[in-house]
């Protein structure tokens, strides 16, 4: 099974500043068949279900603000919020869909400094 | 826009069976580009995938549940369901249903992301 590990567990950033969350997979999630990285990012606000932000490691879901961006290689990935807004306070999860069982990172709690 | 509406009891006794249903509205559950899944989240913890089902009835499970989970689909009612038997306190969690949007299919396997989620159901296992 692929283990997803996020860092840090929590993060406090000032409004308007950049927030960076990391995610590492225990094995590659880069599929040779289409040269794509099978990595997604989700945002979960308190009392709500997760919301899909990014898939294929860097493709924003429709309607997601462009301050959210994703990048990474076969095993190391980053979610960046370029200018933190108050509504971005949430827990962020990475998830691999390269192989079953699908697995999520433990989550990174993002707060305002 | 499709929506998912969950229903089911919030309290289940130990050793009994947890049963939840997810009704799909705003679109057909028979979509060839969609799978339907269940994910759970223990209190204060992260997300865990339980399994998926396709409209044909093909199912895919997380083996960590040791065959306790059964996902079924009723295309006539546009809904799918989860049963988890022999529950213990460790199964206490918020349970979510979700649509898995297939992004890429190859050699009979499809890969995708959970793009639409139900509201979640808090299920407590307690006597």
Nearest by CB to B117, from A50, A97, A107: name it: A50
CB contact under 8 A, A50 and B118: no
Task: Please give the pLDDT value at position B21.
Answer: 98
Task: Please give the pLDDT value at position B108.
Answer: 82
Q: Which of B112, B114, B121 to mutate to test the interface with A (most CBs of A within 10 A)?
A: B114
Query: What does the pLDDT average to over B59-77?
Result: 95
> How close A27 comes to chain B (CA, Å)?
17
* pLDDT tens figures, A14-28: 999 999 999 999 999
Nearest CA in chain A to B97: A49
All residues of chain A having their beta carbon less than 8 Å from the beta carbon of residue B104 are 34, 36
Q: Which of A17-26, B39-48, B57-66 has the lowest mean pLDDT?
A: B57-66
What is each CA distance from B21 to A15, A18, B83, in whole angstroms? Answer: 41, 41, 9
Nearest CA in chain A to B40: A49
Is the pLDDT confidence value at A63 over 90?
A: yes
Query: What does the pLDDT average to over A105-112?
Result: 98
Is the pLDDT confidence value at A33 over 90?
A: no
Query: What does the pLDDT average to over B47-72?
Result: 95
Residue B37 · residue A97 · CB < 8 Å: no
* pLDDT tens figures, B78-92: 999 999 999 999 999
Is the pLDDT confidence value at B109 over 90?
A: no
Residue with tokens 């865990």: B48
Interface check A70 vs B, CB under 8 A? no
> How close A97 comes to chain B (CA, Å)?
6
| Mean of per-residue pLDDT scores for chain B | 96
DSSP state of B120: -
End-to-end CA distance of chain A: 36
- Give the model's confidence band at B122: pLDDT under 50 very low, under 70 low, under 90 confident, else very high: very high
- CA dist A30 and B11 (Å) reads 41
- CA dist A62 and A80 (Å) reads 17
| Mean of per-residue pLDDT scores for chain A | 97
Nearest by CB to B117, from A49, A61, A106: name it: A49
Cβ-based neighbour number of residue B40 at 10 Å:
25
Strand order in the sheet with A4-7: A4-7, A19-25, A76-81, A68-72
* pLDDT tens figures, B11-36: 999 999 999 999 999 999 999 999 99
| Phi, then psi, of B64 in degrees rounded to 5 | -65, -20
Nearest by CB to A34, from B47, B62, B104: name it: B104
Task: Please give the pLDDT value at position B66.
Answer: 81
- CA dist B118 and B120 (Å) reads 6
A-B CB pairs within 8 A amount to 54
| Phi, then psi, of A15 in degrees rounded to 5 | -55, 135
Interface check A36 vs B, CB under 8 A? yes
């Amino acid at each position: 099974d692929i283990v997803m590990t996020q860092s840090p567990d929590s993060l406090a950033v000032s409004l308007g500043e950049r927030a960076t969350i990391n995610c590492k997979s225990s094995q590659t999630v880069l599929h040779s068949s289409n040269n794509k990285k099978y990595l997604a990012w989700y945002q979960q606000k308190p009392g709500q279900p997760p919301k899909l932000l990014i898939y294929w490691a860097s493709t924003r879901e429709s309607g997601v603000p462009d301050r959210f961006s994703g990048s990474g290689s076969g095993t190391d990935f980053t979610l960046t919020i370029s200018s933190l807004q108050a509504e971005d306070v949430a827990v962020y999860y990475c998830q691999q869909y390269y192989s079953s069982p699908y697995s999520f990172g433990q989550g990174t709690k993002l707060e305002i400094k | 826009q499709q929506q998912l509406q969950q229903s089911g009891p919030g309290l289940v006794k130990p050793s009994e069976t947890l049963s939840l249903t997810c009704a799909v509205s705003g679109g057909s559950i028979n979509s060839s580009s969609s799978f339907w899944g269940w994910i759970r989240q223990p209190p204060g913890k992260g997300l865990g995938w339980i399994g998926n089902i396709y409209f044909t009835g093909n199912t895919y499970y997380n083996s960590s549940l040791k065959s306790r989970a059964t996902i079924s689909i009723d295309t006539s009612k546009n809904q799918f369901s989860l049963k988890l038997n022999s529950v213990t306190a460790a199964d206490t969690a918020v349970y979510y249903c979700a649509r898995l949007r297939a992004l890429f299919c190859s050699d009979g396997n499809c890969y995708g992301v959970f793009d639409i989620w139900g509201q979640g159901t808090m299920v407590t296992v307690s006597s």
